[in-house]
Amino acid sequence: DDFESSLLSFEKLDRASPDLWPEQLPGVAEFAASCKNPITNSPPKWMAELENEDIEMLKELGSLTTANLMEKVKGLQNLAYQLGLEESREMTRGKFLNILERPKK
Protein backbone atom coordinates (compact mmCIF):
# COMPACT_ATOMS: atom_id res chain seq x y z
CA ASP A 1 0.00 0.00 0.00
CA ASP A 2 2.89 2.39 0.75
CA PHE A 3 4.39 1.64 -2.66
CA GLU A 4 1.14 2.58 -4.45
CA SER A 5 0.78 5.79 -2.49
CA SER A 6 4.36 6.74 -3.35
CA LEU A 7 3.46 6.54 -7.05
CA LEU A 8 0.61 9.05 -6.78
CA SER A 9 1.20 12.57 -8.06
CA PHE A 10 -0.74 15.46 -6.61
CA GLU A 11 0.47 17.95 -9.21
CA LYS A 12 -2.34 20.06 -10.67
CA LEU A 13 -2.08 20.98 -14.35
CA ASP A 14 -4.33 23.49 -16.04
CA ARG A 15 -5.37 21.59 -19.18
CA ALA A 16 -7.09 24.66 -20.63
CA SER A 17 -3.79 26.45 -21.17
CA PRO A 18 -2.69 26.53 -24.83
CA ASP A 19 0.92 26.82 -23.67
CA LEU A 20 0.81 23.51 -21.83
CA TRP A 21 -1.31 21.64 -24.39
CA PRO A 22 -0.63 23.05 -27.87
CA GLU A 23 -2.47 21.59 -30.84
CA GLN A 24 0.03 19.17 -32.38
CA LEU A 25 -1.78 18.60 -35.65
CA PRO A 26 -3.72 21.46 -37.26
CA GLY A 27 -7.41 20.69 -37.63
CA VAL A 28 -7.58 17.90 -35.05
CA ALA A 29 -9.50 20.03 -32.57
CA GLU A 30 -12.20 20.83 -35.15
CA PHE A 31 -12.42 17.18 -36.16
CA ALA A 32 -12.75 16.05 -32.56
CA ALA A 33 -15.47 18.65 -31.95
CA SER A 34 -17.38 17.44 -35.02
CA CYS A 35 -17.19 13.84 -33.76
CA LYS A 36 -18.85 14.82 -30.48
CA ASN A 37 -21.99 15.94 -32.29
CA PRO A 38 -24.81 13.39 -32.22
CA ILE A 39 -24.99 11.18 -35.26
CA THR A 40 -27.73 12.23 -37.65
CA ASN A 41 -29.40 10.24 -40.39
CA SER A 42 -28.22 12.63 -43.10
CA PRO A 43 -25.61 11.13 -45.45
CA PRO A 44 -22.06 12.51 -45.54
CA LYS A 45 -21.27 15.39 -47.90
CA TRP A 46 -19.38 13.17 -50.34
CA MET A 47 -22.42 10.91 -50.78
CA ALA A 48 -24.72 13.80 -51.71
CA GLU A 49 -23.49 13.81 -55.32
CA LEU A 50 -23.72 10.04 -55.81
CA GLU A 51 -26.51 8.50 -57.81
CA ASN A 52 -28.16 5.18 -56.96
CA GLU A 53 -26.01 3.36 -59.54
CA ASP A 54 -22.86 4.70 -57.88
CA ILE A 55 -24.02 3.58 -54.44
CA GLU A 56 -24.84 0.10 -55.76
CA MET A 57 -21.38 -0.14 -57.33
CA LEU A 58 -19.77 0.88 -54.03
CA LYS A 59 -21.75 -1.82 -52.23
CA GLU A 60 -20.76 -4.39 -54.85
CA LEU A 61 -17.06 -3.48 -54.68
CA GLY A 62 -17.18 -3.45 -50.88
CA SER A 63 -18.52 -6.99 -50.80
CA LEU A 64 -15.73 -8.44 -52.98
CA THR A 65 -12.93 -10.49 -51.51
CA THR A 66 -9.36 -9.28 -51.94
CA ALA A 67 -8.73 -11.72 -54.79
CA ASN A 68 -11.94 -10.73 -56.57
CA LEU A 69 -11.15 -7.05 -56.13
CA MET A 70 -7.66 -7.55 -57.59
CA GLU A 71 -9.23 -9.39 -60.53
CA LYS A 72 -11.60 -6.45 -61.05
CA VAL A 73 -8.66 -4.01 -60.98
CA LYS A 74 -6.74 -6.11 -63.51
CA GLY A 75 -9.81 -6.12 -65.77
CA LEU A 76 -10.03 -2.32 -65.54
CA GLN A 77 -6.31 -2.02 -66.34
CA ASN A 78 -6.75 -4.26 -69.39
CA LEU A 79 -9.75 -2.22 -70.52
CA ALA A 80 -7.79 1.03 -70.13
CA TYR A 81 -4.94 -0.46 -72.16
CA GLN A 82 -7.31 -1.58 -74.92
CA LEU A 83 -8.92 1.87 -75.02
CA GLY A 84 -5.46 3.43 -75.30
CA LEU A 85 -4.61 1.20 -78.26
CA GLU A 86 -7.92 2.02 -79.95
CA GLU A 87 -7.38 5.75 -79.38
CA SER A 88 -3.88 5.49 -80.85
CA ARG A 89 -5.23 3.75 -83.97
CA GLU A 90 -7.95 6.37 -84.40
CA MET A 91 -5.47 9.23 -83.99
CA THR A 92 -3.16 7.66 -86.57
CA ARG A 93 -6.12 7.18 -88.90
CA GLY A 94 -7.15 10.82 -88.43
CA LYS A 95 -3.62 11.95 -89.19
CA PHE A 96 -3.52 10.02 -92.45
CA LEU A 97 -6.95 11.35 -93.46
CA ASN A 98 -5.83 14.90 -92.64
CA ILE A 99 -8.88 15.54 -90.49
CA LEU A 100 -6.78 16.85 -87.62
CA GLU A 101 -5.18 19.72 -89.52
CA ARG A 102 -6.21 23.27 -88.78
CA PRO A 103 -7.91 25.08 -91.61
CA LYS A 104 -5.49 27.28 -93.53
CA LYS A 105 -6.20 30.99 -93.54
Look at the chain and report how many structural domains it folds into: 1
Report the pLDDT value the prediction gives residue 18, as an integer from 0 to 100: 57
Chain centroid to Cα 30, Å, comes to 19
Give a yes or no: residue 1 inside a domain.
no
Give a yes or no: residue 5 inside a domain.
no
pLDDT tens figures, 29-84: 777 777 765 566 677 777 778 889 999 999 999 999 999 999 999 999 999 999 99
Distance (Å, whole) CA 94 – CA 101: 9
Instruction: Look up the domain containing 66 and give its range.
Output: 23-97
Give a yes or no: residue 14 inside a domain.
no
Instruction: Check the CA dihedral 22-26-27-31 and report its sign.
Output: negative
Asked if 20 and 14 count as a contact pair (C-beta separation under 8 A), the reply is yes
Give a yes or no: residue 91 inside a domain.
yes
Q: Is the pLDDT of residue 23 over 90?
A: no
Give a yes or no: residue 39 inside a domain.
yes
In this structure, the dihedral spanned by the alpha carbons of residues 11, 17, 20 and 22, taken in order and rounded to 10 degrees, is 150
Give a yes or no: residue 84 inside a domain.
yes
